[in-house]
């Protein structure tokens, strides 16, 4: 899977995250591997509970403690083993090398500190001696926050949703991270604001040459912004490859079903084919292939054995016994 990236910035290999608390540990992320090169956007796509957000948090060991635990695998950032770093080294990494923006800017910002303070926090932490105010203002201008001098002193609740997300982006990018993890960055926003934020992220990415891990459930967003895409289902990657290729000629039945189930703007009279059943609960996954209860191609073998990851020479990998026959 790393074969398509020649000089990966971040490499994730066979990452496994479990959650403890119930009678049985819940396997939220089960052997995920992917890599992102500098300047590249990789989308991690899946529905609720598929493990995409947990994967994102695991990159800087932010998996909720004590219930969640990374039980296996490797995360390497520019060759460094992230999972072996000390707490102090991790603090140096978070916010400087890897930064996050989240779905709900309203709840991700701290309500009792001013926007300016929160944007400047990473500068104070990582680059002591810099002119915090000047750099904060510069970043606020860059992300298009109006009247930065006044906004600096405002509290998150005084900003609109779009402005809050801009402030989040300023916070994340103020130390020029090498990897930005954007977890559903526009889902909570109106479409016209969503378009503004996507434009801003794309131009900042080009400017800073950073890698972006885009976590989303929206395939339209993948088509418009991602270079490569990984589709997740029940804690596993079921298909991955160049975004254009995967969306144009999907191989895994889940990818195909998902694409067939999304209404298009240029919809004809045709009826969309719904995917039967519901997103599985990670605490009660079926045996065999995790998608088999909902799969139109399901055969007896799928109920008992889980297919291996298969990667043809074109690097559009897939986890299905029968992808060729469909």
Among 157, 266, 313, 325, binds other proteins (CB under 8 A): 266
Question: Which residue's CB is nearer to other proteins, number 73 or number 250?
Answer: 250
Q: How far is the CB of 155 from other proteins (least distance, A)?
A: 17
Report the residue number, 252 or 294, with the smaller CB distance to other proteins.
Answer: 294
The binder of other proteins chosen from 88, 267, 300, 308 (CB under 8 A): 267
Q: Does 131 bind other proteins (CB under 8 A)?
A: no
| Residue 316 contacts other proteins per CB under 8 A | no
Among positions 162, 253, 282, 317, the unique one binding other proteins when judged by CB under 8 A:
162
Q: By CB under 8 A, tell whether 160 contacts other proteins.
A: yes
Q: Return the number of other C-beta atoms located less than 10 Å from residue 147's C-beta.
A: 9
* Residue 192 found at the interface with other proteins (CB under 8 A): yes
Candidate residues 89, 131, 149, 190; the one interacting with other proteins per rule CB under 8 A: 190
| Smallest distance, other proteins to C-beta of residue 262, A | 7
| 249 is a contact residue toward other proteins (CB under 8 A) | no
Mapped onto helix, strand or coil, the DSSP state of residue 228 is: strand
Tokens representing 70 are 């990374």
147 touches other proteins (CB under 8 A): no
- On whether the CB atoms of residues 31 and 74 are closer than 8 A, the answer is no
Considering only 7, 265, 284, 313, the residue that binds other proteins (CB under 8 A) is 265
119 lines the binding site for other proteins (CB under 8 A): no
Distance CA 102, CA 182 (A): 6
* Joined tokens for residue 51: 């493990």
Contact call for residue 191 and other proteins (CB under 8 A): yes
In the shown chain, the binding pattern of residues 201 to 220 toward other proteins, with x for contact by CB under 8 A and - for none, equals ----------------xxxx
Nearer to other proteins, 46 or 307 (CB): 46
* Alpha carbon of residue 112 to chain centroid: 28
Among the listed residues 66, 128, 147, 271, the single contact to other proteins using CB under 8 A: 271
The dihedrals phi and psi of 312, each to the nearest 5 degrees, come to -65, 170
Give 128 or 278: the residue with its C-beta nearer to other proteins: 278
Closer Cβ to other proteins, 22 or 66, answer by number: 22
4-43 binders of other proteins (CB under 8 A): none
Residue 134 contacts other proteins per CB under 8 A: no
Q: How far, in Å, CA of 15 to CA of 44, rounded?
A: 14
Which position has the token pair 């008992």?
304
How far is CA 117 from its chain centroid?
A: 26
Binding residue for other proteins (CB under 8 A) from 67, 134, 272, 326?
272
- What ranges make up the beta strands (E) of the chain? 8-19, 26-37, 41-45, 68-77, 80-81, 98-101, 179-183, 211-216, 228-233, 236-242, 317-318
Distance CA 136, CA 149 (A): 10
User: Which member of 124, 141, 264, 299 binds other proteins (CB under 8 A)?
Assistant: 264
- Candidate residues 65, 86, 278, 325; the one interacting with other proteins per rule CB under 8 A: 278
Angle, to 10 degrees, between the axis of helix 132-142 and the axis of helix 115-126?
Answer: 120
In whole angstroms, give the CA distance from residue 178 to residue 169. 14
Contacts of 255 (CB under 8 A, 6+ apart): 231, 238, 239, 246
- In this structure, the strands spanning 68-77 and 8-19 are antiparallel
44 touches 215 (CB < 8 A): yes
| CA–CA gap between residue 109 and residue 149 (Å, rounded) | 19
Which stretches of the chain bind other proteins, using CB under 8 A?
Answer: 47-48, 160, 162-163, 190-196, 198-199, 217-225, 244, 247-248, 257-259, 261-267, 271-276, 278-279, 294
């Amino acid at each position: 899977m790393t074969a398509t990236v020649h000089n990966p910035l971040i490499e994730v290999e066979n990452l496994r995250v479990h959650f403890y608390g119930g009678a049985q540990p819940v396997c939220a992320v089960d052997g995920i591997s992917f890599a992102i090169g500098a300047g590249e956007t990789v989308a991690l796509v899946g529905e609720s509970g598929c493990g995409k957000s947990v994967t994102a948090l695991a990159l800087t060991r932010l998996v909720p403690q004590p219930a969640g635990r990374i039980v296996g695998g490797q995360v390497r950032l520019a060759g460094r083993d992230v999972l072996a770093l000390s707490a102090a080294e991790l603090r140096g990494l978070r916010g400087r090398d890897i930064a996050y923006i989240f779905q709900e800017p309203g709840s991700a910002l701290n309500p009792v500190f001013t926007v300016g303070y929160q944007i400047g926090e990473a500068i104070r932490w990582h680059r002591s001696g810099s002119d915090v105010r000047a750099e904060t203002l510069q970043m606020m201008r860059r992300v298009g926050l109006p009247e930065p001098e006044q906004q600096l002193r405002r509290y998150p609740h005084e900003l609109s949703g779009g402005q809050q997300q801009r402030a989040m982006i300023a916070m994340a990018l103020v130390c020029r991270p090498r990897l930005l993890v954007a977890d559903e960055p526009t889902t909570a926003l109106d479409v016209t604001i969503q378009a503004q934020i996507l434009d801003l992220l794309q131009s900042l990415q080009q400017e800073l040459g950073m890698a972006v891990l885009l976590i989303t459930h929206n395939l339209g967003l993948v088509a418009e912004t991602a270079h490569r895409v990984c589709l997740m289902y029940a804690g596993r990657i079921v298909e991955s490859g160049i975004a254009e290729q995967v969306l144009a000629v999907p191989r895994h039945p889940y990818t195909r079903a998902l694409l067939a189930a999304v209404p298009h703007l240029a919809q004809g009279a045709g009826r969309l084919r719904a995917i039967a059943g519901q997103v599985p609960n990670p605490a009660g996954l079926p045996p065999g292939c995790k998608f088999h209860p909902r799969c139109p191609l399901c055969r007896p073998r799928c109920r008992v054995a889980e297919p291996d990851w298969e990667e043809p020479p074109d690097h559009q990998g897939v986890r299905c016994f029968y992808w060729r026959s469909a």
